[in-house]
Chains A and B, each alone.
Chain A
Amino acid sequence: MSAALALGDDALVLSHRLGEWAGHAPVLEEEVALANIALDLLGQARVLLSLAGDEDELAYLREERAFRNLQLVEQPNGDFAHTIARQLFFSVYQHLLYERLAASAGEFAGLAAKAVKEVAYHRDHAEQWVLRLGDGTAESHERMQKGLDALWRFTGEMFQPVEGIDAADVDWPALEAAWLSAVADVVQRATLTLPTGPRSGAWAAGAGRQGLHTEPFGRMLAEMQHLHRSHPGASW
């Protein structure tokens, strides 16, 4: 139950952020790609939230403190490099996690087996863009580096064990090591530098999973939930 909420909220919130790009992407192909990824994530969110209860009640009627998503996925889009940095950090994590869940005997094995194919595409998309922005022009290099640096402090919380996922199914320290190695490899190939700052502090470590979020998240929810909350009991 709590694991379905945690994983479902990650997908729901990141999908929402990617949906904000519609009509604003740098090139038409990215309108298609970002919407495609947002749709995949929304599909995953709907399955996961439905395991935990009613998808719309959970999405539209919970307040900020009841959401269990990572702080990383709620971060505002920023420029394209910032969005891509967020995509890289999250999609590598999600890919590695879902690979493990798919191979497990846990309740998420079926869902993860289906989603892992989508997530592999998200990961590839993010990696390809990190390479192009990092090893593109001086400006894109600088922007990509800034994106990685700015979001680095939100990456530690991904490896706090998720309540409800069996320790036998996911070895979190090993997941973290695999993530670090994969991200370091892409960053290095993109001629960028792996950030050196802290990946979590007393506040950020696992905070999102406990319903402790960053300030932009409340405004995101206000926009997302406004219409649904304005018509209590209505169906759409």
Chain B
Amino acid sequence: MAAVTAEQKAQSTSGTADAAEAARTAVFDAAVAADDRIEPRDWMPEAYRATLVRQMAQHAHSEIIGMQPEANWITRAPSLRRKAILMAKVQDEAGHGLYLYSAAETLGTSREELLDKLHAGRQRYSSIFNYPTLTWADVGAIGWLVDGAAITNQVPLCRCSYGPYARAMVRICKEESFHQRQGYELLLALSRGTPAQHDMAQDAVNRWWWPSLMMFGPPDDASSHSAQSMAWKIKRHSNDELRQRFVDICVPQAEALGLTLPDPDIRWNEERGQHDFGAIDWTEFQEVLKGNGPCNEERISQRRRAHEEGAWVRDAAAAYAAKHSPARPGATRSGPPAAPVQDTSPAQHVEETA
């Protein structure tokens, strides 16, 4: 899309503002139609930019709020191997949050601004993280179902029209599918373990199944952003299409696990070549979205508290940077020190030690 800028200039000098706008839109539409990637310096419609910022911010927020229900079990993990896997997973989620905030920043916003909006309740995170992790098996159910649903949603985003988002998703999806297999394997160990462990696994699946189906969003006829997002190739499939795909994947996996899904209406539909399944309680979904889920208050309070209690640390890093970077006087960007980053993928790290 490098040619756009030149073309824009030509248009804006020769034609009226409206004509220039129309020409830019035409170039953008053609790029999207040709499955080209839109890059940060390319012209894009304001509504496209706003939609992406909203979606990427919500995605990044979900990664960091999503650390909480799992971190809840780090100190109680029942074996050192499981503890290492869980720590690595929570670390990966922080990393995903970082990629996604960086990708969102290419659209002209900042991580600070997005976090402020999260803390003020002006941007959302996935409703699934407002459910509590009550037993160890919940860690497995989150891996299998919640990460499974996330992957089903996110794999198509690897082909999203916005380049930085698509590239972030390639890396994120690799790590997520690794987490999902680990969650499945955790549940399998419980399911094949003692009767008490099996019951713990079944109870967790019973509690996480329906909230996982809600992760795909409202039904197609009630989804306000879908049509435009699909036209822009931000989304590639409808909510209901992806939800159906997820159910079809999970049914045989549940059988292999020796666990049941808490839906008496699930059955194979020969004509459709897909599974029928029961009705989702959309009232519950709306309540959780409105802030009335089991953990909405705890999740956002902990996030705000971590941020507020960490303010003096960020201030210190900024003050130190200002004192010790004479080459960049007045550099006040708050953030972490330039601590060396260990070039070890956390996932690989655990595979080695596990």
* Chain A residues at the B interface, C-beta cutoff of 8 Å: 12, 16, 19-20, 22-33, 35-36, 38-39, 42-43, 45-46, 49, 55-56, 59-60, 79-80, 118, 121, 124-125, 128-129, 131-133, 135-137, 139-140, 143, 223-224, 226-228, 231, 233-236
Contact = CB atoms under 8 A, between A and B. Distances in A.
Nearest to B65: A23
B283 interface: no
A35 B97 contact: no
Nearest to B93: A31
Contacts of A234: 78, 193-194, 196-197
Nearest to A50: B80
A36 B337 CA distance: 16
B342 interface: yes
B71 A228 contact: no
A124 B275 CA distance: 55
A124 B190 CA distance: 40
A29 B196 contact: no
Contacts of A135: 320, 323-324
Contacts of B337: 128-129, 131-132
B75 A140 contact: no
A46 to B, nearest CB: 5
B196 A42 contact: no
B91 A32 contact: yes
B136 A27 contact: no
Contacts of B190: 236
A55 B316 contact: no
A19 B79 contact: no
B306 interface: yes
A124 B67 CA distance: 26
16 contacts: A22-B87, A23-B306, A27-B310, A27-B313, A28-B64, A29-B335, A32-B95, A33-B339, A36-B91, A39-B349, A43-B349, A121-B340, A125-B339, A125-B340, A131-B337, A136-B317
A176 to B, nearest CB: 27
Contacts of B79: 56, 60, 228, 235-236
Given A23-B67, A27-B313, A38-B87, A136 B319 contact: yes
B309 interface: yes
A23 B90 contact: yes
Interface residues of B, number: 64
Contacts of A223: 75-76
Contacts of A31: 64, 67, 90-91, 94
A42 B310 contact: no
A132 B101 CA distance: 24
A80 B310 contact: yes
B315 A227 contact: no
Interface in B58-92: 64, 67-68, 71, 74-84, 87-88, 90-91
A42 B80 contact: yes
B94 A32 contact: yes
A46 B95 contact: no
A46 B78 contact: no
Contacts of B302: 23-24
Contacts of B132: none
A231 to B, nearest CB: 6
A39 B84 contact: yes
Contacts of B14: none
Given A35-B94, A236-B79, A22 B310 contact: no
